[in-house]
Structure 1
Amino acid sequence: MELSTVADIPEIEPGDDLAAIISERADLHADDVVCVASTVVSKAEGRIADLADFPAGPRASEIADRLAEITGEEKDPRFAQAVLEESVDLLMEAPFLLTETRFGHIGVNAGIDRSNVPGGDLLLLPKRPSDSAARIADGLPTDRVVVTDTCGRPFRYGQRGVAIGWAGLPASRDWRGQRDRDGREMGVTVQNVIDELAAAANLVAGEGAGGTPVVVARDFKFGDLPGSDNHFRAIEGDYVRQALRGWSYKTGGEA
Structure 2
Amino acid sequence: MELFAVPGLPEVREGDDLAALIDDAVDLRSDDVVCVASTVVSKAEGRAFDLDAFPPSPRAVEVAERLADCTGEQKDPRFAQAVLEESTELIMEAPFLLTATHFGHVGVNAGIDRSNVPDHDLLLLPKRPTESAARIRAGIDADRVVVTDTSGRPFRHGQRGVAIGWDGLPASRDWRGEADRDGRELGVTVQNVVDELAAAANLVAGEGDGGTPVVVVRGWSFGDHDGSNAHFRAVAGDFVRQALREWRYDP
Same fold (TM over 0.5): yes
Q: Which amino acid aligns with 1:123?
A: L
Q: Which amino acid aligns with 1:25?
A: A
Q: Which amino acid aligns with 1:204?
A: V
Rounded Cα–Cα distance in structure 1 between residues aligned with 2:15 and 2:171: 28
Cα RMSD over matched residues? 0.6
> What is residue 184 of structure 2 aligned with on the other side?
184
> What is residue 69 of structure 1 aligned with on the other side?
69
SS of corresponding position for 2:246: coil
Q: Which runs of 4+ in 1 moved over 6 A?
A: none
Residue identity (%): 74
Alpha-carbon displacement from aligned partner over 1:8-28 (angstroms, at most 9, x marks no partner): 111000000111101111110
> What is residue 86 of structure 2 aligned with on the other side?
86
Equivalence map 1:161-240=2 (5 Å): 161-240=161-240
Equivalence map 1:25-40=2 (5 Å): 25-40=25-40
Rounded Cα–Cα distance in structure 1 between residues aligned with 2:12 and 2:76: 27
Indicate if the aligned counterparts of 1:4 and 1:215 stay in contact, CA closer than 8 A. Answer: yes
> What is residue 145 of structure 2 aligned with on the other side?
145
Q: Aligned-pair distance for 1:245?
A: 1.4
Q: TM-score, normalised by structure 1?
A: 0.98
> What is residue 110 of structure 2 aligned with on the other side?
110
> What is residue 158 of structure 1 aligned with on the other side?
158
> What is residue 126 of structure 1 aligned with on the other side?
126
Q: Which amino acid aligns with 1:166?
A: W
Q: Aligned-pair distance for 1:45?
A: 0.2
Rounded Cα–Cα distance in structure 2 between residues aligned with 1:108 and 1:34: 25
Rounded Cα–Cα distance in structure 2 between residues aligned with 1:189 and 1:70: 40
Indicate if the aligned counterparts of 1:134 and 1:143 stay in contact, CA closer than 8 A. Answer: no
Structure 2: 5+ residue stretches without partners: none
Q: Aligned-pair distance for 1:143?
A: 2.1
Q: Aligned-pair distance for 1:119?
A: 1.5
Structure 1: 5+ residue stretches without partners: none
Rounded Cα–Cα distance in structure 2 between residues aligned with 1:63 and 1:127: 23
SS of corresponding position for 1:145: strand
Rounded Cα–Cα distance in structure 2 between residues aligned with 1:90 and 1:67: 13
Q: Which amino acid aligns with 1:126?
A: P
Q: Which amino acid aligns with 2:34?
A: V
Rounded Cα–Cα distance in structure 2 between residues aligned with 1:66 and 1:102: 24
